[in-house]
Amino acid sequence: MSAHLLSLIAAGGLDTLTYWCLAFLIASGLTVVFGMLGFLNVAHTSFYMLAGYIALSITAGTGSFWLALLLAPLLVVVLGLAAERLLFRHLYVAGHTPQLLLTIGLAYVIGEATQMIWGDDALSVAPPTGLGGHVVILGATLPVYHLFVIAITLGLVALLAALVGGTRLGMVVRAAATHPQMVDALGFKLRRVHTLVFLIGLYLAAIAGVIMTPMIGVYPGMADDALIQAFIVVVAGGLGSLAGAFAVAGLLGLVQGFGSVFFADYAMFFPFIVLAGVLLVRPLGLFGARSGR
């Protein structure tokens, strides 16, 4: 195998893993909340965008990307909690139409408020010191920052897996996903479990929003762009399926990673081809079992 091809594969592989991580971070909360609560949140990626903008301001104000990475997602979670208390909570049993309408309205408001505060130009952020460089792997010069994105995602997912799989709280969450009435009957506060799951989903999306900023910057349309990708992940993965979201995020990473190396002009179409391809083979999505509610 030629060295050139090897280096292309290394570059494509790293991009694949990076986009896989980001797509999964963004979409996982959306699909889990949909699976557990039947709640479709169009404003999900608006919170992701908000995290990116807040991180930009924190980085600019304090000079520390790390502080932004710590604080911005927490701030977004607080805002999410407020939205959940004021708005979303009343929608869990309301059916999809009011959910879609109100979260569309919220997405409008967040999008416009963001432009009011930060303006409507695309803004960029430099990667934190130490992560701005490049390493040479298999003859390819690769950005260190992408390795950091992968590491932080793996760390978060491992932490969550340990939390959900190995603690008492995680046990309640798992039970609430499959047997909500029983969990309720046993005296657990189902609402709190739901709020917790919702906030964890937002937190993951917000993390994605922050770590995305040194790669693509922030811009007013980023919520819409991410929403389309996230919907593709959720639909092709099977509504409510975390495993499906994981698999399809991987496929999107793959077409993004290698597609942008070999067929850069058509890269924008690949997510749709993935969606169409998956739905042709499995009309309910990769791991879809139930009918969409």
Partner 1 sequence: MTIPGKLGPVLSALDAERGRGRAGEALATFLLLAAIAGAPWFLSEAALNDLSQAILFGLFATSFNIVFKYSGLLSFGHAAFFGIAAYGEALLLEAFPAVPVPLLVLAAAAGAGLLGLLLGHVCVRRAGAYFSMTTLAIGAFFYTVAFKWHAVTGGTDGLSTFMPTALVLLPGWLLASPSIAQTYELSVVFLIPVALAARLVLERSSFGNAVQMIRQNEERAAFLGYDTHRVKLGNYGLAAFVAGTAGALWAIVNGFVSTDSIDLTLSTTVIIMTFIGGSQWFWGPLLGSIIYVFGSDRLSAFTPHWQLWMGLVFILLVLVFPRGVAGLPGMLFGKLIGGRDG
Question: Binding residues for partner 1, per CB under 8 A?
Answer: 34, 40, 87, 96-98, 100-102, 104-109, 111-113, 115-116, 224, 227-228, 231-232, 234-235, 239, 265, 268-269, 272, 275-276, 279, 283, 291-293
Contact 59, 125 (CB under 8 A): yes
Provide, rounded to whole angstroms, the least separation between the CB of residue 118 and partner 1. 12
- Give SS3 for 248: helix
Provide, rounded to whole angstroms, the least separation between the CB of residue 50 and partner 1. 14
Provide, rounded to whole angstroms, the least separation between the CB of residue 78 and partner 1. 20
Provide, rounded to whole angstroms, the least separation between the CB of residue 280 and partner 1. 9
Provide, rounded to whole angstroms, the least separation between the CB of residue 170 and partner 1. 27
Provide, rounded to whole angstroms, the least separation between the CB of residue 52 and partner 1. 19
Q: Of the two residues 91 and 164, which places its CB atom closer to partner 1 in the complex?
A: 91
- Give SS3 for 41: coil
Q: Of the two residues 62 and 225, which places its CB atom closer to partner 1 in the complex?
A: 225
Residue 273 tokens, joined? 């081809």
Provide, rounded to whole angstroms, the least separation between the CB of residue 262 and partner 1. 17
Provide, rounded to whole angstroms, the least separation between the CB of residue 216 and partner 1. 17
**Cα–Cα separations (whole angstroms), residue 239 to 34, 46, 230:** 7, 20, 11
Return the bridge partners of 134, or none.
143
Q: Of the two residues 73 and 271, which places its CB atom closer to partner 1 in the complex?
A: 271
Write out the DSSP string of 273-284. HHHHHHHHH-TT
Rounded distance, CA 85 to CA 78, Å? 11
Residue type, 78: V
Rounded distance, CA 179 to CA 77, Å? 26
- Give SS3 for 123: strand
- Give SS3 for 199: helix
Q: Of the two residues 206 and 233, which places its CB atom closer to partner 1 in the complex?
A: 233
The residues near 106 (Cβ < 8 Å, ≥ 6 apart) are: 42, 43, 46, 83, 87
Longest dimension (CA), the chain: 64
Q: Of the two residues 153 and 229, which places its CB atom closer to partner 1 in the complex?
A: 229
* Among the listed residues 102, 44, 14, the one whose alpha carbon sits nearest the alpha carbon of residue 233: 44
Q: Of the two residues 104 and 163, which places its CB atom closer to partner 1 in the complex?
A: 104
Q: Of the two residues 109 and 171, which places its CB atom closer to partner 1 in the complex?
A: 109
Q: Of the two residues 30 and 164, which places its CB atom closer to partner 1 in the complex?
A: 30
Rounded distance, CA 235 to CA 231, Å? 6
